[in-house]
Structure 1
């Protein structure tokens, strides 16, 4: 059984009015950003202590995250970040490429000029932030905002729910590839900018291809470095 890992105490106390939602959003973001490694056990009481709340909202949040497949239940009553396997890696990659590419093409005609301006600015900021380890956390959050700005514009709650689940499941893989995300020679750096340019030009099929390449890039790098899956 995987051992409990430290760092739960680094979570900031919840201060929002809806405690259950705040706990869910906090854990959701941490999973999406890869802050918990594959195999880490998350105990209800440990999380409640770290978040300075009762166990009830933690239980509710964990149930929701298990339903979204971001976590898996254990017999001990704890939950675990799913383990990384080559088969799971490939399944998530193929699903994300298909769904996120499709939603990008749907979203293109619905994005406003203001949203395209915002996306262009985010793309530039992500490129700069990725250049150093210190900027990595900022780049990950801005990357999430970039993609979700596009996906939400598609106005498809069904597809967005599937994307949420897939991003939650991708967190552990993202953690394993973090060393690839702060280099001066990232081939994928301009994919965001290229996707925005294609949408401005009304070429939504091309924008879809850029997003599909962007989504698959990290997964392809991880597959090429098998040792990374044991980190």
Structure 2
């Protein structure tokens, strides 16, 4: 349960945090991508992020070009979709294929949890397109759209949280970067669950619309010629 409350925390038998992947604060800063916003360091108390969390010291280049998560079928994680309680509130994860749409505040989590175990059992990588949600299935996929910047990303849900009444989803550092919410720390967003068929249906609808527009243009040109 402590792991759930921390979001991505895992500890050994001595109560010390164990990292599953290299931690960015142990890296020597070499070159910072000039396209990334200049944020205060983690633990400075000056960031828009939560408490002592924050950006890594040496983020990899090209994060703005990171592609969205690819929506695909995956079996639900065995132990990550059972009812659980945090801070006296019980959450019941969804285990169906029903549509889900939600509006609220999105925040992001970064270096504090980077490399630690998520609720799915995977290591949290702040540079991938992932997110934490209290009740969406693990794993599942969602489109997160900032109602302030208008930007949209697709993320893979692989963790639980946030457990604050004013927030609905915690996205990774890279997802926050692409949404434009890194500096402020949070934005009003819309969360929409996605299914594997949604991408194909959207592509088919776009092709049909383009075909109809071309057909109407051809008919119009024929009528003018006549």
Does the pair score TM above 0.5? Answer: no
Return the index of the structure with the highest Cα Rg. 2
TM-score in terms of structure 2 length: 0.30
TM-score in terms of structure 1 length: 0.30
More helix by share: 1
